[in-house]
Structure 1
Amino acid sequence: MPLVAIVGRPNVGKSTLFNRLTEARQAIVHDEAGVTRDRIYGDVEWGGRVFDLVDTGGLVPRSAERFEAAIREQVMLTLEEADVILFVVDVETGITDLDQEVAQVLRRAEQPVLVVGNKADNDLRRMEAAELWSLGLGDVFALSAINGSGTGDFLDAVIEALPEQPDVAEDDDAPRIAFIGRPNVGKSSLANLLLGRQRSIVTEIAGTTRDSVDARMEVNGREIVLVDTAGLRKKARVKENVEFYSMLRTERAIQTCDVAVLLIDAERGFEAQDAKVLREAADMKKGLVVVVNKWDLVEKETNTARDFERAAKERGTIDFVPFLYASALTGQRADKVLDLALQVYDERNKRIPTSKLNEVVEAAVRAQYPPSWRGNYVKINFATQVRESPPVFAFFCNYPQGIKESYKRFLENRLRDAFGFEGVPLTLSFKAKSKPQ
């Protein structure tokens, strides 16, 4: 999906506009400038098109002296990432020196820039919005993010400014594998190493992220697409902005991939942000692999790898995800990364025959019956796999509401014991229906 970014100085209503366009209440809204510390993004659907919207409204500079530098750096990063830019100005306050500085940067943008005159909630303020044409940017739209007036015509203009939707080959079933993770964990180094080793690169495909490229290559005779999640090209002075846009690229890479390969810095260990990214990919039902990079820099004993994996699971990783210990610098086990990702991809596309599935389910039920529900005996009559990629299993029983999460996990573990599904999130659905006669 294309990326639309909201920029502007603090306290002009960027978070309110974000909430209005996404029809959500994700962004915290407050009269105090800089209240939103965790910037966010969401989807907007209008006129048959869908795009990602980024709220950069949570600017929290580290000091007052760095305030203008932080604003400028955020705008520069937005120019690097976005397809369309929404420059929000407060028509009640009018154009400030900081607005002028941001506008000066935006005049050099190759992307379309739409100027949003926010807080234009009456006729007088809508007339005052005409002042914004003096900024010398794109079209000016007077609207009110609070009550929604003027947003319809504005969204029409946003859709018109979006880039053309790329044609996607319907028969392109090449596995899409994304390297994800925090900045500086070695994603680009590992990708470059693998691409350099492979001489059978077929083509390059324009990616969804601005200026990114997905590489098509062959691995053991199988064609794959390596989804680009390379780091930002410019070194930002404001670290929080780089972290934010890196996470944005990660989110977009996860959306478009079949298997997400999470890279971890072996020296830093498995951190809370790693657990968050892994859980996000699991919630999207993507195949999962964890690669512990820079393993050559770790002093090792007999059980170092086992202890690392155990510590990671205590920090919130997922039991069914395989770990691989490698080094992009030395090439140690780097050639195993895509092999393991393809194994997970195949597991994700696996279909279990109904007869074998029910044998396993019946054995599991005999070993541990479901708890009763409101004094009623819960009976699972029949199970079948209703889809693959990602795998979904339907269980038909007399009281589906009586199946608790603990028993779902028990059944999922029995399915994994019997059929594998390493690195693959499973969906178990329970329905009120009898076994077919």
Structure 2
Amino acid sequence: MAKPIVAVVGRPNVGKSTLFNKIAGKRIAIVEDEPGVTRDRIYTEVEWLNYKFTLIDTGGIEPESEEIIPAQMRRQAELAIETANVIVFMADGKQGLTASDREIADMLRKSKKPVILVLNKVDTKEQSPHYYDFYEIGLGDPIEVSSALGLGIGDLLDEIAKNFPDGAGEDYDEEVMKVAIIGKPNVGKSSIINKILGENRVIVSDIAGTTRDAIDTPFTDGEDQYVFIDTAGIRRKSKIKEYVERYSVIRSLAAVERADVCLLVIDAKEGITEQDKRIAGFSHENGKGLIIVINKWDLIEKETNTMNQFTKDIRQELSFCEYAPILFVSAVTGQRLMKILDKIKFVANQNAMRIPTGTLNEVIGEAVLLNQPPSDKGKRLKIFYGTQASVKPPTFVLFINDKELMHFSYQRYIENRIRENFGFEGTPIRFIHKEKAGGDK
């Protein structure tokens, strides 16, 4: 299953964002004394001991307020509560129990989720004078912390981890190919899955944003095992009007992180958009295998070079992932859909391919002979040798004399030579440069 999700909730100005930043180890949320600064949920990935989880900061809940902004903040906090595995309910240990705390506690009990009650702003070793008042709301023993000073954070994280569901963070077996279906809303992601599966396991609707959570659909094809992770469509931020869609973006990005291969589905009638570039970029940055699927190809009026021109446009707009194969399909007619599984299997293998060190260095040596490395102020780049450090994505370590002499253009040249010799179609390649001890600079 996916990484657990932990939501930090509470009324305004109790220190939720300060706690969030302390756990995240960096200043992500805006921290001000004015209540209501954090209006949108903000998330980060957290690792504690052997657990990895997603932490969400929420705007303060004001149960009785009918003003537009507080009402929206309440709604987006409610959505975080609905989808979280564990809820951290924060109150003010200095101020004590308030009517708003009581109402929020009532809402949390109805969620049937594990709730950890935290009293913040307890900045000394002395127990809060209000400690026992909080037993009134029936959420168990409060944990006292100081978000500002970092006191009690470890105990809180231990308690959070205790409440994760069984199997949290565990994923499918290594041989299962995990495929995230990504793209904007209403481009036909669910329809493609349904057509391949031959049954309607995922709801299909013409209303953009129908799929609000990532849905795992395991299936087998012969001896091959797959799981499709169908994600909510990712919209541009300016067009996210419902807070539920903000949350679906988190789940969609999390789906990419879990995947081996991403299918970026693009609407043939719309063509490449800025949002498509951003989504492709997220797959690329995470080192995932990528296949570009142009859907609704049946709706395009064809001329002699229509497909070639469309391919040229894609390569130009998505120049950072020229390695990604392109398929032109139709979820309605089934055109070329069955090629998707073969291409997924191929790209997954390319993403996990390992090259022997000796063979790799033969290619690098030949590349250097054909095109001498750059020099600067009388110093020439020397590549002593290379080795493949890891897969998914394929990552190569080049031992060189001076990192500053490795220009991007020459690294691209080396990458192209590696691709020419070994393939790596559909997968990004990473390089790490290390200066060899005693190397001639």
Q: TM-score, normalised to structure 1's length?
A: 0.81
- Please say if 1:114 is aligned against 2:116: yes
Distance (Å, rounded) in 2 between the aligned partners of 1:321 and 1:37: 38
- Bigger mean CA offset, 292-301 vs 414-423: 292-301
- Which of 2, 5, 17 is equivalent to 2:4? 2
Distance (Å, rounded) in 2 between the aligned partners of 1:305 and 1:34: 51
| Alignment RMSD (CA, Å) | 3.6
Match of 2:409 in 1: 406
Alpha carbons of 1:380 and 1:306: their partners in 2 closer, same or farther (altered >3 Å)? same
SS in 2 for 1:193: helix
- Where in structure 2 are the equivalents of 1:33-432 lying within 5 Å? 33-36=35-38, 39-57=41-59, 65-92=67-94, 99-121=101-123, 126-165=128-167, 172-196=174-198, 214-219=216-221, 221-229=223-231, 239-298=241-300, 301-312=303-314, 313-314=316-317, 318-354=321-357, 356-432=359-435
Q: Percent identity?
A: 44
Partners of 2:40 and 2:59 within 8 A in 1: no
Code of the aligned partner of 1:334:
L
Q: CA deviation at 1:223?
A: 2.1
Q: CA deviation at 1:259?
A: 0.9
Q: CA deviation at 1:400?
A: 4.3
Distance (Å, rounded) in 2 between the aligned partners of 1:226 and 1:245: 20
* CA shift digits 1:366-408 (9 cap, x unpaired): 3432222452222223334344333222333333442122221
Code of the aligned partner of 1:293:
N
Q: CA deviation at 1:138?
A: 4.7
Match of 1:206 in 2: none
Alpha carbons of 1:22 and 1:193: their partners in 2 closer, same or farther (altered >3 Å)? same
Code of the aligned partner of 2:429:
L
Q: How many residues align?
A: 416
* CA shift digits 1:48-82 (9 cap, x unpaired): 433221223499xxx97433542343234223321
Distance (Å, rounded) in 1 between the aligned partners of 2:30 and 2:220: 46
Alpha carbons of 1:153 and 1:402: their partners in 2 closer, same or farther (altered >3 Å)? same
Code of the aligned partner of 2:415:
E
* CA shift digits 1:216-267 (9 cap, x unpaired): 32235422222353679xxxxx834223222211222222221122223444
Q: CA deviation at 1:85?
A: 0.8
Distance (Å, rounded) in 1 between the aligned partners of 2:15 and 2:132: 18
* CA shift digits 1:145-187 (9 cap, x unpaired): 1112232322222122222336969964222222123444333
Distance (Å, rounded) in 1 between the aligned partners of 2:268 and 2:90: 42
SS in 1 for 2:334: coil
Code of the aligned partner of 2:245:
E
Code of the aligned partner of 1:340:
K
Alpha carbons of 1:298 and 1:428: their partners in 2 closer, same or farther (altered >3 Å)? same
Structure 2: runs of 5 or more not aligned? 202-211, 235-239
Structure 1: runs of 5 or more not aligned? 200-209, 233-237
SS in 1 for 2:161: helix
Distance (Å, rounded) in 2 between the aligned partners of 1:358 and 1:182: 42
Alpha carbons of 1:244 and 1:398: their partners in 2 closer, same or farther (altered >3 Å)? same
Distance (Å, rounded) in 1 between the aligned partners of 2:195 and 2:100: 44
Partners of 2:52 and 2:169 within 8 A in 1: no
Code of the aligned partner of 2:257:
Q
Code of the aligned partner of 2:121:
K
Q: TM-score, normalised to structure 2's length?
A: 0.80
Code of the aligned partner of 2:228:
L
SS in 1 for 2:68: helix
Alpha carbons of 1:149 and 1:221: their partners in 2 closer, same or farther (altered >3 Å)? closer
